[in-house]
Structures are given as structure tokens and as C-alpha cells.
Amino acid sequence: MLIIVAPGQGAQTPGFLKPWLEDPQFAERLHWLSTVSGIDLAHYGTEADAEAIRDTAIAQPLLVATGGVAALALFPHPADAFGKIGAVAGHSVGELTAAVGARVITGEQAMVLVRERGRAMAHAAAATPTGMTAVLGGDPEEVQAALTQHGLTAANVNAAGQVVAAGTLEQLAAFAAAPPAKARLMPLQVAGAFHTDHMEPAVGVLGRLAQSVSTHDPRTPVISNRDGRVLHDGREVLRRIVTQVSTPVRWDLCMETMRDLGVTGILEMPPAGTLTGIAKRALPGVETFALKTPDQLDEARAFVERHGTQSSIDTHPTWRLLVSPTKGTFVRQAGGEGEELEPTSTIGVVRSTRDETAVVAPHGGTIVEWLVEDGDLVSPGQPLVRLHPSAVTV
């Protein structure tokens, strides 16, 4: 199974877009997204220095635009991708890139959202001096205890031994003065404490904008970076994109879901390298491909062919397929074949040792066929039931 991932802020480096802009079609598409966002993305991707592209309001649109246009270079006929990609996921702002790839929102909608996301997060960061520090190594329980002691948040949990602490500069200074045993601290050059309560004002800004954004259910499963759950409702993907600004990124749970899905290959969109580097350590045996420059495109397409599989929730004109959002035991609540379900009806829950997750039929419909039994163990992305769409949702 092939999974496509998109990196978050911090992956950008000065001049990384230079080789891509040698392709006239790439340049034209990037120019269009520059027009939509009101930002000269070509300039920032080729000529701007590290300080300029570190700016949250610049870095985030630059990353989303690059990932989206590079995806079109990799898949010149986008519909072909749905027969090859098993799932998509994005780290932090990369989730917007993933949402575009899964056809939940358009590239133009993503650019407006990411422009305002970057501005709102930069404004929130200016309210209080805050920052982030990578914590590498150390005992996980001791690290968490130290974070709690100093009032810090584990804003990113990327993998075992890779946590990013976030909070006020005073809290981070106190933490640095008494670090957990065997842990190495690395202050990050970011504008503020992203994915914490300090970003709550930005959530309100995005939430108001999102009310006017139309969505489609994903053509490819989206793995949420909040908790690793597999999403098949476009409105839920958008809701999580809004609220993730102030909630931690659990990339460790995303990789756990990838393992449960049976991933064999992970391809990272440019500017690539960060997420494939984590995967190499956390998912041994899984082949990775970091797409950094356009001269790798043929090799990347061969990688796609080698690992490609049909999306489990690719739509069909006569029925909808609901899949499990996580692993656990399925407890059925809806009735038998032929039962009519109202929109947002709960068909059952998936219980795990960690929690209980409801499975909702966002559009309702008629139950055509159950694909699991009550009490069955299910995996993330596993099909649960086929529904015939109601007339109003076709």
C-alpha cells in the first residue's frame, strides 16, 4: 500500500523551488496560486533567505502550494491517483495539502485558508512571547512529567523519543534549566507555540472562514494528524483542519495507523525529507521516497506503480462505503439491510483500549450490505457497510 505524506512548517529551505520552476507548467500553476493567495511564491521559493521564509504567513502558503503543484506534476491525470494511493496524511499545515490531494477542498480554497491560517497564527503568536523546543530522547514518562511540571504542551509527538515542547519563553527557559535525564533539547526557530492553547484566537478566524467552504467526501482516506483516525467525511476533515491549529500533532499515531493499514511505501511531497526520515526509524521495512526535485519524477512514478493500491473508499455511482476510523472492536447500532438512515446517523462504534469512536453516516442512505459482524475486530480504513445514497445526496 502506498501512502502520500505532506510535510509541515520547517521543511522549507532557501531556494528549494528553483529546479521546479524550470518547468513552465509548474511555474504557471504556481503563479496562479500566487495570484489566489496574494503572495509572490516564486520569489519566496527561490530568492528569499531563511529568515524571510521562516515567517509563518509566508512559510505555510509556500508549503501548501508546492505540495499541490508537485502532486499535479507527479500525477498529470489526477484521477489516476485514486487507483494507486491507499491513504494521504499531512503534518500540521501539510494536512491542507493532503485535503487537496484527496479532493476534499480545491487548491484555491486551500490557498485562501492557509493564507489566513498563517496570518492568524502569526498574530496569535505576537500576543505573548512563546516558542517551541524539540526534545530528543529521554524516558517518555519522565519527559511528559517534566513538561507538565513546567506547564508546557507536547505540541508535536512525532515518534518515540521525538517530542516538541511548546509554551511561553519563560516556561521553556525553566525547562531547559532542568531538562529530563538523557534528553537533548533543541530550540526551534518558530514564531510561537503552535498547536497549543496560545493559538486559540486563530481557530476562531479559521472557523468563520470555513463556514463558507464547500467540501466533498475524500476520494482517498485521510489520516488525521490529531489522533491517527481514518476520515471519510469531508466536513470532518475541514473541521479538524480548523481546530488542529490549537491541538497537538500526533504523527506517532498517524504512523501507527499506516502500519495497521499495511503500508509498504511512503512518498513525501516536496520539500521532502523530514517525514520520510522519521518513517525510516519508526517503520522499519517500509520503503520511503523523498521527492525533492523534478528530476526524480520518473523514479517517483515507478515507486507509485510498485506500491500503488486502490483506495478503500473510492466512490461508486450507486453506493457509499463507510470505513472504520480506527482499530478496535466494532459494536453495531444500526439495523439490517434495507434500513433507511438519516444524515449523521451513528451506525455503530469502534471500541479500543484507548477510547470509543462513533462511526457516522454523514449523508445517511439505505443499508445495502453489512461487511462486518457485530463484535468483529476491525482495522483502520476497513470497509464496514455499503449504503445506497438518499435521493437528496446523489
Residue 312 annotated as catalytic: no
Of residues 150, 195, 232, 307, which has the active-site annotation? 195
Of residues 92, 312, 324, 345, which has the active-site annotation? 92
Residue 345 annotated as catalytic: no
Q: What is the 3-state secondary structure (H, E, C) of the chain?
A: CEEEEECCCCCCCCCCCCCHHHCHHHHHHHHHHHHHHCCCHHHHHHCCCHHHHHCHHHHHHHHHHHHHHHHHHHCCCHHHHHHCCCEEEECCCHHHHHHHHCCCCCHHHHHHHHHHHHHHHHHHHHHCCEEEEEEEECCHHHHHHHHHHCCCEEEEEEECCEEEEEEEHHHHHHHHHCCCCCEEEEECCCCCCCCCHHHHHHHHHHHHHHCCCCCCCCCCCEECCCCCCEECCHHHHHHHHHHHHHCCECHHHHHHHHHHHCCCEEEECCCCCHHHHHHHHHCCCCEEEECCCHHHHHHHHHHHHHHCCCCCCCCECCEEEEECCCCEEEEECCCCCCCEECCCEEEEEEECCCCEEEEEECCCEEEEEECCCCCCEECCCCEEEEEECCHHHC
**Cα–Cα dist 78/9, whole Å:** 25
Catalytic residues: 92, 195
